[in-house]
Structure 1
Amino acid sequence: MRHLLFHLFMHYFLLSTLSCTSATTSITTNSLRPFLRNKGTLNLPTQFEAIYQFGDSLNDNGNFIRQLPGGPKSAVARLPYGETLKRPTGRASDGLIMVDYIAMNFQLPPLIPYLANGSNFTHGVNFAVFGATATGGIGANSLASQLDWFKSHLKATYSSPAGTYSIFDQLVGFLGVVTLSIKEKLQKSLVMMGEIGGNDFNGPFYQGKTIPELTPLIPIVVQTIKDAVEEVISLGANNIVVPGNFPIGCVPLYLVNFATNDTSKYDELQCLKDYNDFSKLYNQQLIQAIQQLQQEHPNVAIVYADYYSALIWVITNSPQLGIEPGCAKKACCGTGSNPYNYDGHKFCGSPGVSVCPDPTKRISWDGVHMTQQGNKCVANLLVKQFAPKLQKNHVHIPRRKPIKIN
């Protein structure tokens, strides 16, 4: 049955037509204000004017629910998703997600999803989409399509108006190349290149592919991400964070679907060792690619964000974080006759699936994504890790030859 699990998962989230009321609710800074009082953030000095986020459902805050035909009818467009925010927002959580806390740490308002047409994108744009892959292996929401959105946004928003720059800059803007105004904006911005790539492996795993079969895919995914980083650098970005993958062997979805009676397959945290080792291998190759990029672009800060260690730390220290005993890997919204409260055939939002009384006492929201509490803990650890490695905005970036925006 494993080869059917991924199809069932995507079918439910993408094409669900249950008779519940769907909602593609717009979230504004004002409507989120009561939930943005976070004493745990670093409150760093404002270093960036904007954040540009690429990725998948871990950081999608409303793009997928605006995509027809399935988005508005999907589970994330309905309660209980968003219950802590009092309404669904397109976030795959009960409340806020990592990108919200990352923005908060830099004293910026929540990012606006790209597909929220007519919005004010002064402080950045979120291009992440539920189900997105790096390589385009499943679905249409690949990293390449998000880069196309990014370039379209830049061209539409930051092309130099007549009289502002030289005749040369006005000409290259007309021809569709990178103008000084685009470069200036990106040099004052942070680019979050993911997390992206996890779904390139999730889908094949649940179609029955084995770890040895998927290992050759790792360098292909890494190269795709590396190419994307090269592209945003060519557009003018000089502060880029590239996250790795989570320890997937600690995720309820994996723990249930790949459960085994062989105790040697589990580590001290009772996570699946082989799948965590796969994540480690992927992360090692991604780090090597980042190091190579850094050597090629010494004037650009290209920083690895260690999702793996952050989630391991949160799970290990869950009692001190207020997580209910024995629930560090137990989904809040779910069902199932197993320790993880997860059933691959009855997802969060399905009829009869319950929600725990207090999501702040769980790390996992639906067996795949984190609760607001989990997102907050992981995001704050990540920012503490990568923020000191980013450059200040006064760093001089030599003028590059104009690059064509396709």
Structure 2
Amino acid sequence: MATHQMIAFLLLALSIITEASSSTIVNPSSQCYTSLFSFGDSATAAGIYTKDLAPGTESPHCAFTPYGETYFHRPTGRCSDGRNIVDFLAQHLGLPLLPPYHGEYPSANSTSFLQGANFAVVSATVLDFEFLKGRGIVSCQNCSLSVQLARFKTLLGTLCSTPLECREYLKSSLILLGEIGGVDYMRAAFENLDSGGDVVEELMPIVVGRIGSAIEEMIKLGAVHFLVPGDFPKGCFPAYLTQFQTTNRSDYDALTGCLIRHNGVSSSHNAMLRDEIQRVQNLHPDVSIHYADYYGPSIRMHQDPIKYGMGRATVNQACCGAGGPYNYDPSAVCGRPGAVACEDPKSYVMWDDHHCTEAANAVIAAEVVRGPSFGLGCGRGKQPAPESFTAAE
């Protein structure tokens, strides 16, 4: 690995450890949930580790500046200029920002995770590496949902001593399972341009079914409170808009300028996911499983950016990029030489090619908190919803 990349990883690891160790322990009696465990991909991730990368893979661009500039003032492994959605949810619940867990901590340090952990990994897929490889789809080796679940079980074994004790511990835990699955579809679409739609359609029920089985696995361990986010409108992402750019105006939504077909994939996934959630809920009536809508608030920002303090002209452009109609150049992505960040990330929905700004994440998180599903079934009612979440100045 190049020297500058090794230095970046060391600095990143140090910042993560510092951030986790400085978190304040919150009195459990003062809140609804006493811990939060999060799974997902780069929309949720809060750390980057070499063990999750394929051999010879470069450090992900999220490990470098200007990532993190708005809130943390340094890269933390989050693929945004600041906080992601789970950060806002944790803060709203009175919990510390979740320390990332990638299996690297010995049990002696498990007390750092008593109030939760973030298992999400950049480029994570629902489906396993070997399965996707068999379909001609390249993915990272140690970041599938199965890997994240295995790490959760390992960590859980250090937080409680017996199955009964673990069930009691998980009774006051919230499981945020996602957003995940979008990378499976993205890899299929980008690497199989001629037949990408067919491959995605084939993968979708497998992806959604695996999410459902993951919920059931955690129910067996004692988890009873789940929030399961759907997909973002991928047809609004600068990478999609660049990769699948056409001259056919009918391919674009007239109101948002987003690609209709790819937003349709996200909508189909979300509909299928809601059905799967209901299936599992029917099997486990004593468990609380709720769908979290990330698509709705995201698409509303693209439809009416002015309402959210964002710019109409830049609504589908990346704040951080290297030019082009959507400010995205795959040869000079954010965090790499040639890319620069805009002066005011709060006026953008999209931070880079695939990820929202902190400002957009704040809007989505606020909608989730205000929704009927957040906090239900936890024994002490919902936490009061804030007037709004605010991005850092």
How high is the TM-score relative to the length of structure 2?
0.83
Q: Deviations over 1:222-275 (max 9, x none)?
A: 111010000011111111011111111111110111011111111121111111
Question: Match for 1:193: what amino acid?
Answer: L
Match of 1:6 in 2: none
Per the TM alignment, residue 56 of structure 1 is displaced from its structure 2 partner at its CA by 0.6
Is the partner of 2:228 in helix, strand or coil? strand
Q: Which letter maps to 1:337?
A: G
When residues 180 and 70 of structure 1 are mapped into structure 2, their CA distance, relative to the original with a 3 A threshold, is farther
| Alignment counterpart, residue 49 of structure 1, candidates 34, 42, 49 | 34
Distance 1:219-1:302 versus aligned 2 partners, 3 A rule: same
Letter in 2 for 1:232: M
Contact 2:63 2:75 in 1 (8 A): yes
C-alpha separation between the residues in 1 aligned to 2:21 and 2:360?
Answer: 23
Q: Does 1:128 align with 2:120?
A: yes
Taking only the aligned residue pairs, the percentage that are identical comes to 38
Contact 2:40 2:119 survives alignment (8 Å): yes
**Residue 284 (structure 1) shift:** 1.0
| AA matched with 1:265 | D
1:201 maps to which of 185, 199, 205: 185
**From 181, 184, 193, the counterpart of 2:168:** 184
Partner of 1:304: 291
Answering whether residue 19 of structure 2 is matched by residue 28 of structure 1, we say yes
In the alignment, is the contact (CA less than 8 A) between 2:319 and 2:327 conserved in 1?
Answer: yes
* Aligned-partner Cα distance in 2 for 1:157–1:320: 44
Query: In the alignment, is the contact (CA less than 8 A) between 1:76 and 1:91 conserved in 2?
Result: yes
In 1: Cα distance, 2:21 partner to 2:168 partner: 28
Distance of 2:2 and 2:332 partners within structure 1: 12
Equivalent runs, 1:57-96 vs 2, <5 Å: 57-64=42-49, 67=52, 73-84=59-70, 85-96=72-83
> What corresponds to 1:142 in structure 2?
144
Residue 369 of structure 2 corresponds to which residue in structure 1?
A: 383
Which residue does 1:170 correspond to in 2? none
Distance 1:222 1:66 in 2: 26
Q: Please give the secondary structure, in 1, of the residue aligned with 2:113.
A: coil
Letter of the 1:53 counterpart: S
Residue aligning to 1:38: none
Comparing 217-226 and 328-337, the one that deviates more: 328-337
The answer as to whether partners of 2:124 and 2:180 remain within 8 angstroms in 1 is yes
> Whose Rg is larger?
1
Whether 2:288 is the aligned partner of 1:293: answer no
1:114-147 per-position Cα deviation (integer Å, ceiling 9, x unaligned): 1363361121011000111101232221100111
The change in CA–CA distance for 1:333 and 1:294 in structure 2 (over 3 A counts) is same
Q: Matches of 2:168 and 2:201 in 1, distance apart?
A: 40
Q: 1:63 to 1:149 in 2, by over 3 A?
A: farther
Shifted more, 118-127 versus 381-390: the winner is: 381-390
Consecutive unaligned residues in structure 1, runs of 5 or more: 1-14, 34-44, 160-172, 174-178, 396-406
- 1:223-238 aligned at under 5 Å gives the runs 223-238=209-224
Deviation at 1:74, TM superposition (A): 3.0
2 CA distance for matches of 1:151 and 1:381?
31
Secondary structure at the residue paired with 2:371?
helix
Structure 2 residue ranges without an equivalent (≥5):
25-29, 133-138, 382-393
- Over the residues paired in the alignment, what is the CA RMSD in angstroms? 2.4
Which amino acid in structure 2 is aligned with residue 226 of structure 1? Answer: G
Aligned residues: 351
Give the CA deviation at 1:65: 6.1
The correspondence of residues 216-365 of structure 1 with structure 2, limited to 5 A, is 216-267=202-253, 268-338=255-325, 340-365=326-351
Find the counterpart in structure 1 of residue 384 from structure 2: none
Quote how far apart the aligned CAs of 1:351 are.
1.2
Change (3 A) 1:198 1:132: same
What is the rounded CA distance, in whole Å, between the counterparts of 2:248 and 2:272 in structure 1?
29
Secondary structure of 2:36 counterpart: strand
What TM-score does the superposition give when structure 1 sets the normalisation length?
A: 0.81
CA contact (8 A) 1:64 1:71 kept: no
Structure 1 position 156 matched with structure 2 position 163: no
